[in-house]
Amino acid sequence: MSEPPSAITCRSTSGRSLLRFNRGIVRSPARSVVDGLRASDRGNPTYEGVKAEHDAYVAALKAAGVAIMILPALEAFPDSMFVEDPALTFSEGAILFRPGAQSRSGEAGEIAPILRQLFGKLLELPCGFADGGDVLVTPRNVMIGLSGRTDRVGAEALIICLAELGHEGLIVETPDDVLHLKTACSLLDETTVLCTPQLAGTGIFDGFRTLITPDGEEAAANALRVNDVVLVGSDFAKTAQMLGGLGYQIIPVPTSQISKIDAGLSCMSLRWQAN
């Protein structure tokens, strides 16, 4: 089996590694998570089930070498455990977003104080709407997917914020029936993206090595490369086998409860490399 491609060589436009993280923030699920937003009814998750999945996720991040800060649950915001939507963190600073779902708009204000404490530079999206789930950081640029949650005004404002942090933004389209850009893709190493056939077909990853999710496992596209490992939803055996065969070190993490409210692995944490 070949060596997994090294994250150490994967660098952002500012020269830092993109897939190395030593700090992270998560938020405990609230009991109200059972009322989380969803596009279609696949039954309610249970609070206990979501909590167990969240605990497993935090354990996987810690085992991968990330020091995790756990924020308290917010009952008033059912989707607030998905901390990657109201903000995005980089080594160079953080950005507060303007979440595109009305019930989530207050989440940015809730996470702002801790980001202000941790980051010397905290930028705020001034207008429009954008969710962190629509942002894919790659070595070439930071892709911003237009979606039901991220509009062009927000995306253009985000490009200006990214430039202040030394990153170049690029606006792309998210397929119509997909919640967020990263619902359908993830960066596995500096040249490789895991994505759905539908997103690959749009051509946005031309020039990358694209690994296509096996039939019936499209939701596995929202994997999470962290340091030397790739977290993959534990229901996606074919994807795990494919990636394992290519030399990636796979950590299966349960997602069957959070998937009922359209969530995956990237959205449950904010990650960055602190000096």
Toward ligand CIR, which CB reaches closer, 229 or 270?
270
| 161 has catalytic annotation | no
Residue from 93, 133, 145, 233 binding ligand CIR (CB under 6 A)? 133
Toward ligand CIR, which CB reaches closer, 84 or 217?
84
Which residues within the stretch 214-273 sit at the binding site for ligand CIR (CB under 6 A)?
Answer: 261-264, 267
| 180 has catalytic annotation | yes
Which residue of the chain is nearest ligand CIR when measured via CB? 133
Say if strands 169-173 and 142-146 run parallel, antiparallel, or are unpaired: parallel
Contacts (Cβ under 8 Å, ≥6 apart) of 172: 143, 144, 145, 146, 181, 202, 204
Phi and psi at residue 46, to the nearest 5°:
-100, 150
Residue from 24, 29, 36, 145 binding ligand CIR (CB under 6 A)? 36
Please tell me the count of residues contacting ligand CIR according to CB under 6 A: 19
Residue from 37, 56, 68, 246 binding ligand CIR (CB under 6 A)? 37
Cα–Cα distance for residue pair 111/96, rounded to 1 Å: 8
Site string for ligand CIR, 156-195 (x = CB under 6 A): -----------------------xx-xx------------
Toward ligand CIR, which CB reaches closer, 149 or 167?
149
- Which residues of this chain interact with ligand CIR, rule CB under 6 A? 36-38, 79, 82, 84-85, 101, 104, 133, 179-180, 182-183, 261-264, 267
Catalytic residues: 180, 267
